[in-house]
Amino acid sequence: MPPRHLADLDKEGLQAAVKELGLPAFRADQLARHYYGRLEADTSKMTDLPAAVREKVGADLFPPLLTPLKHLACDDGDTRKTLWKANDGTLLESVLMRYPDRATLCISSQAGCGMACPFCATGQGGLDRNLTTAEIVDQVRAAAADLRDGVVHGGEGRLSNVVFMGMGEPLANYKRVVAAVRKITSPAPEGLGLSQRSVTVSTVGLAPAIRKLADEGLSVTLAVSLHTPDDELRDTLVPVNNRWSVAEVLAAARYYADQTGRRVSIEYAMIKNVNDQPWRADMLGKKLHKALGSRVHVNLIPLNPTPGSEWDASPKDVEREFVRRVIAQGVSCTVRDTRGQEIAAACGQLAAEN
């Protein structure tokens, strides 16, 4: 596992670490302010720290976690994928997307993924390891710093949204992900200060973990990667369905909506002649309306190509008819504008290959 970092620690943990280093207690706050408030992870630039302790603090609390190996951009520069190398050589990716009114960072919670969905490149590569809390948080800090400093295309900006839709299954790395969500959303100097409502946690549907998340007192958006309303097909598209069925996943989503008051998002990759039939649209609309009423929104994602896959995206007219039928059941439904295909940065394409 990578070395401990300031972003792995809660307030008490940081205070204890500062004490261990033989520093006065106020340094804990000061260091947190540098990292979360000024987005600074390089202790040589923390000039209000005595020169003699900068190196020691650097080695102990700010070990280099993620090194950018490359940035790839497309959509006129508005989409940027970063390949990161972790301290132990593990590779992972994150994707920054700029829109006129917001900037969204798609982050990884694991290197690789163990969920084995056959249409997803990350799932095909298998799980490498869980990321630490600090490795998750630092993807966000780095993007927020780049936006603030105007080093990404489009000039200065502010990071407004974070989605756990990169590599990995966030709820399979539950404790570290929840700790990271708290760091990302707590106000400075304890966190990066994003609003909970602008953070989305996406899951294949680990029902017990969805229920646990519902009880955390967080109002993050839950997204469920459903992809079909029937167990027969879902058992192959999302293999973990063999463990938790569509009904169990939707009941957990309902519990999430009840506990948090938040509308749940449903992700549905449109795969030609696989899950895009009119009758499936009707069934999806009916099941969602029954489970969640109007507290649900369906995002259709045109299938992105992945290496070795024989599947294609559904034709546009099929997509339109699907949307129409879901809406006819009283469920809101839109097609997600998909970004990053040219640089293998779109949904399901993150393979972290160098």
Annotated binding site for S-adenosyl-L-methionine: 168-169, 202, 225-227, 304
Give the residue closest to ligand SAH by C-beta. Answer: 348
What whole-number distance in Å separates Cα of residue 279 and Cα of residue 294? 21
Rounded distance between C-alpha atoms, residue 253 and residue 244, angstroms? 12
**To the nearest whole angstrom, how small is the minimum distance from the Cβ of residue 308 to ligand SAH?**
11
Cβ atoms of residues 168 and 109 within 8 Å? yes
Q: Which residues are annotated as a binding site for [4Fe-4S] cluster?
A: 113, 117, 120
Q: How far is the CB of 277 from ligand SAH (least distance, A)?
A: 18
Q: 14 or 95, CB closer to ligand SAH?
A: 95
Helix and strand totals (H; E) in the chain: 11, 12
In the complex, minimum distance from the CB of residue 305 to ligand SAH, in angstroms, rounded to a whole number = 7
Closest to 91 (Cα-Cα) out of 321, 285, 350, 267:
350
Nearer to ligand SAH, 109 or 133 (CB): 109
Structure tokens at 354: 């160098």
Q: Closer CB to ligand SAH, residue 134 or residue 206?
A: 206
| Residue (181 or 204) nearer to ligand SAH, CB | 204
Site residues for ligand SAH per CB under 6 A: 113, 115, 117, 119-120, 165, 169, 202-204, 225, 267, 269, 301, 303-304, 306, 347-348
Distances in Å between the Cα of 181 and the Cα atoms of 97, 137, 256 are 19, 8, 16
Binding-site residues, please?
113, 117, 120, 168-169, 202, 225-227, 304
- Catalytic residue numbers read 93, 347
Least CB distance from residue 267 to ligand SAH, whole Å? 4
Quote the radius of gyration of the chain (alpha carbons, Å). Answer: 21
d(CA 325, CA 253): 22
